[in-house]
Amino acid sequence: MAPTLPALLCLGLSVGLRTQVQAGTFPKPIIWAEPSSVVPLGSSVTILCQGPPNTKSFSLNKEGDSTPWNIHPSLEPWDKANFFISNVREQQAGRYHCSHFIGVNWSEPSEPLDLLVAGEEPAGRLRDRPSLSVRPSPSVALGENVTLLCQSGNRTDTFLLSKEGAAHRPLRLRSQDQDGWYQAEFSLSPVTSAHGGTYRCYRSLSTNPYLLSQPSEPLALLVADYTVQNLTRMGLAASVLLLLGVLLCQAWKDHRGARDAAWS
């Protein structure tokens, strides 16, 4: 009997999948850190690696280390692995990649994840925290130009700007020497609603770019939508609320009047 069309399709998919596995052509896994890739010294962090379903194992590699960290996924659909690091020390700072294993080959490594450890020991060269300020104001409108200025009186090669809760890696700029002050200007122009949030900046040295200073004091950037469309929407909403208030007030008065008439 000739094979049916569904059987031929299944056979083709199976052969194609097996060929992909043997050729190592599965997509790269995805790597990220929770709660953030910027980790205060002594705290904990989880590095997560995600690949296709039914992955047999994952491997985490730190550049410069010869021994990988291999674990087997424990949760269905077995497509993710959690590498937990407690009490993070300076030695854990660095660049990480992960790979996944299905079939007979390891996948290509993921894109790099830079794990940045913030806050040196008291005697360290990065013990002093920088300052963070904003120009022209911490409250700006959509489309305006705003600059976050990170400064330090101590020698600094690089400044990093981190936004609380952001998925992307911190912005990094080389420092400039201005009259004995080291500084970097981070331009967020033109401002969008996505720029609103809490920022901190760090200083770093080229001798170890994965070690950061203590963070600056937090700076909250408020982005207000003063566009004509939004003001129109706000005005319309206010009008609707006012109308509802009038109607509710009138209904209450009618109800009270009817009740008083019933008792008279």
Domain end among 70, 92, 118: 118
Rounded Cα gap, residues 211 and 184, in angstroms: 18
- What is the extent of the structural domain holding 213? 131-224
Position 149 in a domain: yes
Domain end among 95, 118, 141: 118
Element (H, E) at 18: helix 5-23
Helices (H) and strands (E) in the chain, counts: 2, 19
The one-digit pLDDT tens for each residue of the chain (264 residues) are: 454 544 433 333 333 434 444 444 678 999 999 999 999 999 999 999 999 888 889 999 999 998 899 888 766 777 889 999 999 999 999 999 999 987 778 899 999 999 999 987 655 778 789 999 999 999 999 999 999 999 999 989 999 999 998 878 899 999 999 888 999 999 998 999 999 999 999 999 999 899 999 999 999 999 998 655 444 544 555 555 656 765 676 666 666 666 666 555
Say whether both 59 and 93 belong to one domain: yes
Position 251 in a domain: no
Q: Is residue 97 within 8 Å of 33, Cβ to Cβ? A: no
Position 259 in a domain: no
Number of domains in the chain: 2
Say whether both 146 and 62 belong to one domain: no
Say whether both 136 and 63 belong to one domain: no
